Structure formats: structure tokens, C-alpha cells
Chains A and B, each alone.
Chain A
Amino acid sequence: MNTVHVLLWVVYPYLAITILIGGLIWRYRYDKFGWTTRSTQLYETALLRWGSPLFHFGVLMVLIGHVVGLLIPKSWTEAVGITEHNYHFMAVFIGTVAGFCTLAGMVILIARRRFTGPVFAATTRNDKAMYVFLAAVIVLGLWNTVRGNITEGGYDYRADLSPWFRSLFYFRPDPELMTSVPIGFQLHVVAAFALFAFWPFTRLVHAFSAPIGYVTRPYVVYRSYGTRPRPSRPGWEGPPTLPTRSSSRGRK
């Protein structure tokens, strides 16, 4: 185990997760107003109607696949009688379908973003950078699924990659496990953690406001202005204080 391994498979993931969580909290406190999907549907509907559901439903399936593949130990699935071959077949099949849906959706959405005038005009530099990370993660992931599993006949990521991932959450990280992982998967992991670190500072934050509560909420919401909470303050500063002589002089 050398320094590079520790840096890549211990320090880097923890750093990324810390930035993800801290960034989300900070963004929520500082920027509730900017926390939105920034939808461009008003400008263009025809392409969005195909691209967006394709991408989002695809990516949700991919998410479920990752949860199953990374968090559920191999011994558990085998205990309920799913053989490695069956598991592998299902994972590759569903993963490939979901991955291609996601990719196709993303291609449609990016093309729409580039070639529809108003949508392109509403695209920020931040968005463009985000697309690079997002596309890298998705393309690498799909590449691994297709190439590693179909053409080169199978790699069992549940033997080393998944235990490593889980070890991060036990706070007993084991970088040794990652040394045997193929380079394609390694790149996918590195890109994914980069995306996680970038996540809170992009429009992707809307993923964390998926309106699950809507399903159980009464239709009409009442609120009283009498109980309107005082607005929270940006960032970490805490509640406002009256300016004092010294602080107002120092501020200049």
C-alpha cells in the first residue's frame, strides 16, 4: 500500500464526501433562493419531453442498481439463493438498459441546450463544467458495464470494489481492496467522487429536494404571517448583531 493508494482511496473520497455534505448545508443556508431546477421548459418543450424523462428515469434506475450493487454484500444475495451468474446477468442487463437510457437522455438534453438559442443563452459556465463531470461519470460507468462485462467476460466488482465502498462508511477504509480493480472502474470511482464534491455548487442540488412529502401532504397549505420565521442568515455567520462602532469602522 503506497501513498498514492491512500490518497486516492481514503483521503480523496472522504474529502469529497465532506465537501458534499458541508457544501449542501452551506448552500441550503446561504442560497435557498438559488436552490431550484432552473427549468428551461418554458423555452423549449418538444426535445425536453423526451430527453428529460429518459435521463431522469434512467438515472434513477442506475441509482437503484448502485445501491444494490454497492451496499448489499454478496453473501446476502447468495443467502437468498441468487447465484453469482444470475445476479451478474440481471445487473448487466438492467444496468445496460438504464445506462443507455441515461446516456440517450443526456445526449438529447445537451444537444438541446447547445442548439436552442434561449436555452444556450441561459447556460452558465457552472452548468457547462457540471456537464463535463456528469458526462464523464456516466460514460465511464456505461463503458465499464458494457466492455468489462460483456466483451471481456465478467468482472465481479462485489469482490473488492463494493467492500471497499462499504469500508468507507464503517470508518475502517481499506485501500488495499482497490488495487485489484480494473482501471476503468477506478476512473469511474474517481470521476464520481469529483462529481459529488462539485454537486452542492451546481444545479444538481435539486436532486436533494425531490418532493417526496407531496404524496402525503394535504392539497392546500395554509400559513400564518404571525408565525413567519425570521429569515436565516447566509452562510455560517449566525444571527445578525447590531453594528457596533468598532465593527462599522473596521468594515471599510
Chain B
Amino acid sequence: MRVMAQMAMVMNLDKCIGCHTCSVTCKQAWTNRSGVEYVWFNNVETRPGQGYPRTYENQQRWQGGWVRTRSGRLKPRSGGRLKRMFTIFANPKLPSMQDYYEPWTYDYEHLITAPSSDDIPVARPKSLLTGEDMKITWSANWDDSLAGGNEITAGDPVLAKVSEQVRQEYEKTFMFFLPRICEHCLNPSCAASCPSGAIYKRSEDGIVLVDQDRCRGWRMCITGCPYKKVYFNHRTGKAEKCTFCFPRIEIGQPTICSETCVGRLRYLGLLLYDSDRVAEAAATESEQDLYAAQRSVFLDPHDPTVVAAARAGGIPDDWIEAAQQSPIWDLIMKYEVALPLHPEYRTMPMVWYIPPLSPVVDVLRDTGHDGEEAGNLFGAIDALRIPIDYLAELFTAGDPAPVRAALDRLAAMRAYQRRGNLGETPDDDIPASVGMTSDEMDDMYRLLAVAKYEQRYVIPAAHAEDAHRLEKIATECSLDYEGGPGMGGGGPYGQGPFGEASGTPVPIQVETFDAQRSRQRADSLTEAGDPAQRANLIDAGGAGSRTGARPQKDPAGEGGDVTGPGVLDINRDQP
């Protein structure tokens, strides 16, 4: 037994209202740079729907994840090492820009500079790839809330797996939102696909990261990831992916998407697992057994032998304590309401989901029944095969039993708590009917409904002895990065001899900060001295210096303090 710790997330889908706050704050924090306009480390998909990029779940087409060979071993679905080496010059299974969408901005400047005329000037959409006029035909949430109707929904690869009759009814009846980030898998197929060895899993907290200095742009990881959560920065030629906000996690703060989640539906915490058993569990023969196999890899942090092994493996005591208080352990192992997304990809994903009960409740309410009554709910969960089958294709490789069990528990909790709420005598039969005690049910209710910040996010900070190395702790000057002003050198962006993408990467928060500031203060879409053929609209916001990684005092000296919003102007909004 080799104990390792994994930072994991659970999302309670019942609470997601599809407001996209997580996506927007994530984008603002990580991908508001040029080259990653189309990159959404966090996105919220409407289900049923095609997802982002379109139909990414169709692994027959995209070849992501692992397959079990006849000899019972795992190999990436897109091929083993040799095959990958032979296809390195042109990856045959890479999604094109059209499978995401062509990023664009608007020519806002025209609104102000257009000559006087009878017609109101319009801001035309301009491609961020070519700078030419373009027609907008798709974007990250084009099919939000079932927009586009059956035509688009019919392209959902998950829906294609459930039966025809179920499919049609489903489209009429159900909809829910699925927020997605990188799964930070225990058995990451993106890392396995990387010829350069640039993608690694951190041994302390299991976060999967791309080493930007080692990535050579072979783009195999994009094919390898079945969730299509590794993206290609088309300006720097490097892969980028969700970082689980590691600079925040290292100092005990939740990820940005969790922090800003309006519905408070995200939970963060540690799980201990036996890394020696991961490969064996991921190679479990039947796809439907993978959910159970993955659970069997997790180790009970309350078990003294596990604690001893964890200590022996160098996991600090406060981390073990955090693992014992982890809401993730409770939701996955104790209450058994959280399920993995697509375990059949055999990557052992570590962002899990509590399936939504609300579609069932909605149907009951719409058909004139009491949607909160235990008997009605249990009956409906069984009778409404529609959501169960669909959810099972998402979470348990098609096995309806775990989904039904999870929904039963959520339904029981709803009915049980309502009785309490209305002052009726608590009915202990309700928890018993789903194999729980009333105390457990109370605890689960508290965790799902009223848990405070500290209970939802149990994140042990990285250790002080490492602190000077951690990105977010400013024991070293935050501008002392390679070639930054603290080093007295010219920054790599814009000044490097090989153009803007050369040199060493600027710490992301410095770059983001400066890019945003530059955009807010710029006076024109066009940067003076920009090479003409290079799209000068390339910055995500359209205005400002696209290379503004290095803080520069504005010459007028106006707004010398760097935190000020600058001059307010209507054409500064992002598209």
C-alpha cells in the first residue's frame, strides 16, 4: 500500500442554475490572454447537449482515454507509444478550431470613429485568428439551456446511447447543467500521451499540470484527454489546462470556480488513495464495475493502519487530519451520493457529481403531484427511466443502480427534512428505507444544504518550509520572475528575440493583471507599431496592448497606482 493524497472536488448538480459565474471568473483568472480566447478551463454545459468542444464524449471519433487490451492491460485509446511517435507530424484526431469556435471580438472603435451618416454605426465581429470580418455561427454556450432545440440536442453522444423512446421524451422534459473542469485523474491519459513528459501529476496533492518549459507542442495530450480539457494555446504553441488553481490551493484557498460559485454547489477536500492499486482498478474488465473499482482505491482516513501508512509515506499530520474532515470522503464513501463523470474512460477522474434530483421533482410538480413526498419521489425515480438512463450513461457507464441509489437518498433527505420543517414528527422509516440513520441523514442534509465555507472547502495549506517556492506567497518579489522588472531585464513578452512567445513564461497572475490593466486603459484597438498583417485585434478584449505583460507606467503619469480602474469607456467591454 502506497498512500497518496489527492485534492478532489464534488459538485452538487441540483444546485447549479447555469449562471456561468464559475466559467467567467475562471476565464478572468487564467485564460483572458491572447492565444487562449477559446479556452475554457471551466465550462458549464447544458444537458442534454453536445458539450464543449462539440461531441467530445464520442470517443469513437476523438479517441480519448484508455482502452483495456485483450491481455488485461491499459493503453491509450489513440494508440500506444510507437503509434503515437509515427503520427507525431500530424495528429490524426485533433479537434479543429471549428469544433470549439472561432474566437472573435467587435470593432468597437468604429462606433466612435465612424463618419457622420444617416445610419447608426455598428460594431462588426472580427475574427481573432485572422482579423477579418466573420460570421458568428457557434460559441462556447451556443446551445445553452437547450437553445437550438432538438436539432442540436440530437448530436449529444450520451443521448445517442439511450433508447429512441427515452430520447424523445427526454428532450421534452429534462434539462440540467453540468459544470466541468479538468478531472485531475488518478490515471491521467493526457500525461500518458505527452511525448515530452511535460504533463505531470503532483505527488503531494495529485493536481495535474503542464510544465510550460517542457511542452514542445506535440498536441497529443489534447487527443489523449477524453474530457477534452487540455487546450492548445495557438499563440505560444503550448498546451494549457485547468490548474485546480494550485497557487490558491497551496495556501489553503479554494479554487476560483468554487470561491465564486453562486449556488455554493462545489466541495473541495482531500482523499487518500492507494496509488499501487490505481492501474489494476482502472483495468477492471467490465466498464460498469469501474465506479466500484475506483471507490475501492480510496483509503479510509479514519483507519489507523491507513493513517500509519500515510505517515510512513511522508504525508504530514495536518493533511491526514484534513483528509479525515474531507467533505469529499463523506459524499463519495459515506453517503454514496457522488458519482464520477464517465468512469468508462478509465482515467479515474477526481471531480465527482451528485446527480440532479430536480428533473424528477419538476415532473411530479408539473403533473400535479406533491414533489416532496417520499412515496411519490421514490415511485417517480423508478418510473421515470428517462433521467436515470441518461444519468447512468454520464456517471456509471450505463449502470442505473448507483444513480437510482443516489437519487433515492436525495429524495429521502428531501422528504425527511420537509417533515421536520413543517413541524411534523420525524419519520425514521424514511432514512431507514435508504439504509441510513436519521442522524446520518441530518448530517448529510447539513453538508448539502447549509454547510459553511470551512466545511465545504477543507484545504490544508502546503507546508511553510516550501512556502518560498509557492507561487502565490510573496516572500520573493512577485515581479522577480524571468526578465521581469524586478530583475531589471526586458520582459520576454514582446521584447524577446524570437517574438512575443519566447523567453520564459510570466507568472500567470502577473500577466493577467497586466493584460487586464492594459486593456482597460488602452485608447485604441490598434497598438502602435504592430506588424500590420498580424491580427491586431488578437487580445481577448480587442483593445490595448496584446503583449502587455510588463507593467509600464503610463506616460502621462495619470493613475499612477496600478489598481485604479483607469478611465471608464464604453468600448472597453469584453465581447
Contacts and interface: CB of A to CB of B under 8 A. Distances in A.
A211 B487 CA distance: 33
B85 A215 contact: yes
B94 A45 contact: yes
A223 B234 contact: no
B115 interface: no
A41 B90 contact: yes
Nearest to A27: B498
A79 interface: no
Contacts of B534: 121
Given A33-B212, A39-B237, A201-B498, A234 B504 contact: yes
Contacts of A234: 482-483, 489, 492, 503-504
Interface in A215-252: 215, 217, 219-226, 228, 231, 233-234, 240, 243, 248, 251
A45 B234 CA distance: 14
A52 B217 CA distance: 15
Contacts of B483: 234
Contacts of A39: 217-219, 232, 237
Contacts of B232: 39, 42
Contact of B197 (A33, A43, A125, A221): A221
A36 B200 CA distance: 18
B380 interface: no
Nearest to A60: B89
A133 interface: no
Given A52-B89, A209-B196, A32 B213 contact: yes
Contacts of A37: 216-218, 237
B487 A118 contact: no
Given A39-B219, A118-B130, A126-B498, A225 B197 contact: no
B348 to A, nearest CB: 11
Given A234-B483, A251-B488, A33 B236 contact: yes
Interface in A156-176: none
B502 A31 contact: yes
B175 interface: no
Contacts of B91: 41
B216 A209 contact: yes
A106 to B, nearest CB: 13
A233 B484 CA distance: 11
B565 interface: no
B190 to A, nearest CB: 10
Contacts of B188: 220
B533 interface: yes
A219 B192 contact: yes
Nearest to B190: A220
A66 interface: no
Nearest to A220: B191
A33 B534 CA distance: 21
Contact of B487 (A52, A219, A240): A240
Given A36-B217, A37-B216, A233-B482, A45 B503 contact: no
Interface string B488-509: 1100100011110111110000
A206 B487 contact: no
Interface in B171-196: 187-188, 191-192, 194-196
A136 B213 CA distance: 32
A117 interface: yes
A121 B535 contact: yes
Contacts of B492: 31, 33-34, 234
A222 B216 contact: no
Contacts of B218: 37, 39, 211
A89 interface: no
Given A36-B238, A211-B195, A42 B96 contact: yes
Contacts of A40: 234
A37 B89 CA distance: 10
Interface stretch (B201-209, B317-325, B404-412, B446-454): B201-209
B188 to A, nearest CB: 6
B503 A30 contact: yes
B105 to A, nearest CB: 14
Contacts of B496: 31, 34
Nearest to B102: A118
Contacts of A34: 236, 492, 496, 498-499, 501-503
B196 A211 contact: yes
A221 B201 contact: yes
A118 B51 CA distance: 25
Contacts of A214: 81, 84-85, 194-197
A213 B218 CA distance: 14
Interface in A107-143: 117-118, 120-122, 124-126
Given A33-B238, A121-B534, 19 more contacts: A33-B502, A33-B505, A41-B91, A41-B219, A42-B96, A43-B234, A45-B94, A45-B96, A121-B533, A209-B196, A211-B88, A211-B197, A214-B81, A214-B196, A221-B200, A224-B204, A225-B204, A231-B504, A240-B480
Interface of B: 76, 81-82, 84-85, 88-92, 94, 96-97, 127, 129-132, 187-188, 191-192, 194-197, 199-204, 212-219, 232, 234-238, 250, 462, 466, 469-470, 480-483, 487-489, 492, 496-499, 501-505, 531, 533-535
Interface of A: 30-45, 48-49, 52-53, 55-57, 117-118, 120-122, 124-126, 201, 206, 209, 211, 213-215, 217, 219-226, 228, 231, 233-234, 240, 243, 248, 251
8 contacts: A39-B219, A57-B89, A121-B534, A209-B216, A214-B196, A219-B191, A225-B469, A231-B481
